[in-house]
Structure 1
């Protein structure tokens, strides 16, 4: 790094009234290219480790196969879907990352030249769609990795084009108040956009030091705002898929800073961030399905960033779920996983996957904005029980009205389920105001998003209070009783004076859900709901037999004595709603007199044969 630049940058900080101590890094100590994630020579360690590591070899073959496929594909073109260019940006990241990685592993120029073509193509776009800045963040990261990893082999005119594009299509709009709201955001936009920009800054630090350093310093002030969501324990309020998105970028930010400067500026020390890897591990059930609360899908996936967490924490048990994905013959990587696959090899080849063992604890609990209790009694697929319980608030980013909801697995079957998210574009193209989360906002008219179709309580037929918050009151960690007790009172807008929900696995034999409610100054009608894709058969008014995949479970009302189960289909009422084939709701209602208390107790009992 040019020392003249460092002196100039220091003077600029002082002239701006900024103390030198506020500077996060010594820019004179930046490493040479390649400096992002995998430095020169580290390819040798990866190649050597592949010989005795079939899981890693499989990932490597996947990346090489994709790189070979890309050799004959046309380069990307500018094509928006609705207001997003994001699909193109993500594809660019996958292509350039894969091609550059395979070039570094093999030294074959065909991969370098093909990656360079892709970089020239996307850098020739008129813009990277700053009105939806995630698109800019991912595209900037894409060309930055190519620029850094292929630096010695790129044509001078390509280098100039990439540098100009990073400055004009990345940095410039990030300084525009019309687009840079993400700098003050507390969600994944902050993580993704800042990370992409920092990759761009690290890539061109020699040539554009002043501007690049300013981007890095700004990110070091901005990113901690988004990392507050992990406090105190690591559970991520946006749920399963968005952990994979926001946290993966956050981890890649830290990894790049460490590889370039030997320091992350203290980001790893943020409360809850490193423990969030364990949270995510417990978000996958024994069936291979996710606890898909909020805007999440039920399908689980591999998270390449988990290999970075395991390496950083020196904890191979974090890779148990990843090992299952990599050893399973039918595993297909999703598009999101595919664009980060090189991370698995960069960090995963440090482990012998044969020696990876599962975590020991049967329950993981996290508090914060969206508290969860996650019970998993077995780590082999289809073995043991899984219970996911959540509190929280509908006012959280990407939230549903699902506070108090739970999922339950036994006998290798998910019995109580969450329908999950509806894809955004399917709603946006119908002009649904999906992001209006006010109490009367249209978001809560979407069938899958309100409390009527979640495994929770509904009082007097009303939607949950958006600003209601449900904390965990108590966690049960002994084998006789595993689960949590939640305070749900604020969800019901004064219709109930008090409401608590206890969801516990009893002696690892059955799940018990106990709701204790007290009506306020007027009578209250309380509905208990559970969504399932099992086939129901009513045995009597208090007992429902569920059948799925040749297994059975009995759903039993222990109280109130007058309650009777009913089955309701999940056919939505709006044309814009997604269909929900094969699922139903099992419900019962309890009428509570003014001021009186009532207990709703239900058992979910697997039928052992």
Structure 2
């Protein structure tokens, strides 16, 4: 890799740094003796000797998505975009497209030597440097802060200079390093400094000259506080760290950049649970954790400082594995995939890559970082995840992938998991035909939905109780409704869900908390009880007790018990959402029974209540241009005490369902019957906050 000579640089405008007061570890604790091969000659991500292995990886089906990103390039169209169409005041789309061209083309040229890739990379790099600002956020109305675009561009520029070496003309090297020093790194530094000292921030806001739509601009007044606990802290942390490593020993600010970057990473490490769980959901987990690893790898390779155990990396790969939920069937194309930015996520749904999509998880998970963890932690299960779970999307995945590394498939010990953030996942396995039930308890987080005590349920290769994809990021979009309790498989009180914010500050955390009060499992069964009373009482003062209990009798029976106690009478609704992105989800209801049908699976349910109860069907109040979202709604009429028990069976599409009898007893419920050769005899005593469960 390239090692630049010392040059004269313009002084950066970044402010002074100091240690984070809440950093978990002193920096010295993460410092190790230099590894024998560490030093300025090492690449930031890989070395020339790694290229044959990387090239071989990119020929594998597992890395096909990365290979496609690198090689499926319309050089004429991209050249025209760079020269004629890229707008200097558009960062959301155009600047992002430029930095991706810089990074991808630099990598592709380094791997395969195609001169067209080099020419396009250099053209895009020069154009990227021509942007007056590298991000569309300002402090005090004048100084760039870097949340995504500036750090991403800084990372791409450092990587490109490292990988291409002498292939970059000297004048472009000078220009690129000048822009990193005067725009990229200072923007990252200013952002992290503001998160560390929010009382010193002069005010964050949108750049008025950027063409980011006015309709999607929210208040940034509290963002230095809000973003300090989100993925948007780690991207500038990585960008600043790579700049510090690149200019180590060559620029006077490199030392303080490195200090603040490592301090920020250490402070953010507390956002991961002790078991590696991550509250923003598994979609943002991959992006965030990969950037932590990119930083740790560069610091280790160049400086010999070991931050590779900053979080429970093996545990966080197990978190991702717990969230994997592969289904069957074909890919469902997103008709809006190629449309302009509209503050709503886009993406084709590939059921083979399906996941427990709590929060803004997207339609699939990237596990590029799993290979890195497998190698650094010598963990065979992590290599199994890298080889078999989700997808590899980041080019780093092709560098870190070890197809021949010893791997170990997960065993039954990971079938029933209560994560440290109180998310519960129970399964029969990881094959599309296996059954998965997931309960979203726990506290608030950035990118969350109003989904406390909501559940996701899939069996026989299809989603049966759904959590909607592509919820809007802006409250001005109709899809904002998909964030709310009413769009989840959850409880409503008089048609209202639990507390959630109004979106005026973005997709930040609410105040809603639920807590798992009981979690147990045994051979062929799992039960969990979660109390969301506090979350509902924040907006419904009469809500005294809102508790959900699940009993999962593997593989095809699920009991859902909802208990609500109110200070005054009101009706309660229990909704069950139907997956219909492909137009093939159907719901039926009659009296105290309902059904959900998908192409690969069916569900039949019997509902019972302490009082009267009825089931019906409806659709979310959204325009059909957004989508059709059917659901089943079970209604318990106005009362102060509600107990609604829903007994569900699943079967392959067209398969027979057994019959379950639900009987009200003096102290609770008795559920008996059989389904698919499985005897069911369950007693739930509901006189205590945690029901007493007996499985005969």
TM-score tier, shorter chain, comes to: 0.7 to 0.9
- Which of 177, 181, 204 is 1:163 aligned to? 177
- Which of 195, 202, 216 is 2:245 aligned to? 202
Render the CA deviation track for 1:457-516: whole Å, top value 9, x for unaligned: 112333312423101122223233224211111122142322221123213221111123
2:39 maps to 31
Q: Shift in Å at residue 69 of structure 1?
A: 4.5
1:329 maps to none
- Which of 264, 267, 270 is 1:225 aligned to? 267
CA distance in 1, matches of 2:292, 2:76: 28
Render the CA deviation track for 1:154-175: whole Å, top value 9, x for unaligned: 2221111111100111123345
Structure 1 pair 526/80, CA: closer, same or farther in 2 (3 Å)? farther
1:147 maps to 161
Unaligned runs of 5+ in 2: 8-16, 21-25, 138-145, 191-200, 205-222, 328-350, 501-510, 580-584, 656-696
CA distance in 1, matches of 2:400, 2:62: 10
CA distance in 2, matches of 1:418, 1:60: 28
Structure 1 pair 247/536, CA: closer, same or farther in 2 (3 Å)? same
Render the CA deviation track for 1:291-346: whole Å, top value 9, x for unaligned: 2222233x2244322222232333343355654579xxxxxx8xxx65x22x2221
CA distance in 1, matches of 2:314, 2:600: 40
CA distance in 1, matches of 2:381, 2:34: 38
CA contact (8 A) 1:84 1:129 kept: no
Residue 228 of structure 2 corresponds to residue 185 of structure 1? yes
- Which of 521, 532, 549 is 2:599 aligned to? 549
- TM-score for the superposition, normalised by structure 1: 0.81
- Which of 317, 320, 325 is 1:280 aligned to? 320
Structure 1 pair 17/391, CA: closer, same or farther in 2 (3 Å)? closer
CA contact (8 A) 1:147 1:159 kept: yes
2:120 maps to 114
Look up the SS of the partner of 1:565 in the other structure: strand
Q: Shift in Å at residue 136 of structure 1?
A: 0.7
Unaligned runs of 5+ in 1: 6-14, 327-332, 435-442
Q: Shift in Å at residue 26 of structure 1?
A: 9.1
1:46 maps to 54
State the superposition RMSD in angstroms: 3.6
- Which of 378, 395, 400 is 2:429 aligned to? 378
CA contact (8 A) 1:25 1:261 kept: no
CA contact (8 A) 1:63 1:102 kept: no
Look up the SS of the partner of 2:483 in the other structure: coil
Q: Shift in Å at residue 242 of structure 1?
A: 1.4
The equivalences for 1:498-577 within 5 A come to: 498-520=545-567, 522-533=568-579, 534-538=585-589, 540-549=590-599, 551-560=601-610, 562-572=612-622
Render the CA deviation track for 1:555-600: whole Å, top value 9, x for unaligned: 221334621101111232xx7x97232x312112224644x4x422
CA contact (8 A) 2:435 2:460 kept: yes
CA contact (8 A) 2:527 2:550 kept: yes
1:8 maps to none
Q: Shift in Å at residue 75 of structure 1?
A: 5.7
The equivalences for 1:448-487 within 5 A come to: 448-466=482-500, 467-487=511-531
CA contact (8 A) 1:232 1:367 kept: yes
CA distance in 1, matches of 2:289, 2:283: 10
CA contact (8 A) 1:86 1:134 kept: no
Structure 1 pair 80/473, CA: closer, same or farther in 2 (3 Å)? farther
1:216 maps to 258
Look up the SS of the partner of 2:577 in the other structure: strand
Look up the SS of the partner of 1:256 in the other structure: helix
Q: Shift in Å at residue 66 of structure 1?
A: 3.6
CA contact (8 A) 1:281 1:318 kept: no
CA contact (8 A) 1:362 1:376 kept: yes
2:61 maps to 55
CA distance in 2, matches of 1:420, 1:499: 26
Structure 1 pair 447/109, CA: closer, same or farther in 2 (3 Å)? closer
CA distance in 2, matches of 1:173, 1:605: 55
CA contact (8 A) 1:231 1:273 kept: no
Look up the SS of the partner of 1:76 in the other structure: helix
Residue 133 of structure 2 corresponds to residue 100 of structure 1? no
The equivalences for 1:218-367 within 5 A come to: 218-265=260-307, 268-270=309-311, 272-287=312-327, 288=351, 289-297=354-362, 299-318=363-382, 320=384, 323-324=387-388, 338=393, 340-341=394-395, 343-348=396-401, 350-352=402-404, 357-360=409-412, 361-367=414-420
CA distance in 2, matches of 1:384, 1:481: 14
CA contact (8 A) 2:151 2:236 kept: yes
- Which of 535, 540, 565 is 1:491 aligned to? 535
Q: Shift in Å at residue 415 of structure 1?
A: 0.6
Residue 468 of structure 2 corresponds to residue 419 of structure 1? yes
Number of aligned residue pairs: 552
Look up the SS of the partner of 1:199 in the other structure: helix
Structure 1 pair 532/108, CA: closer, same or farther in 2 (3 Å)? closer
Q: Which is richer in helix? A: 1
1:580 maps to 627
Structure 1 pair 175/507, CA: closer, same or farther in 2 (3 Å)? closer
CA distance in 1, matches of 2:110, 2:62: 17
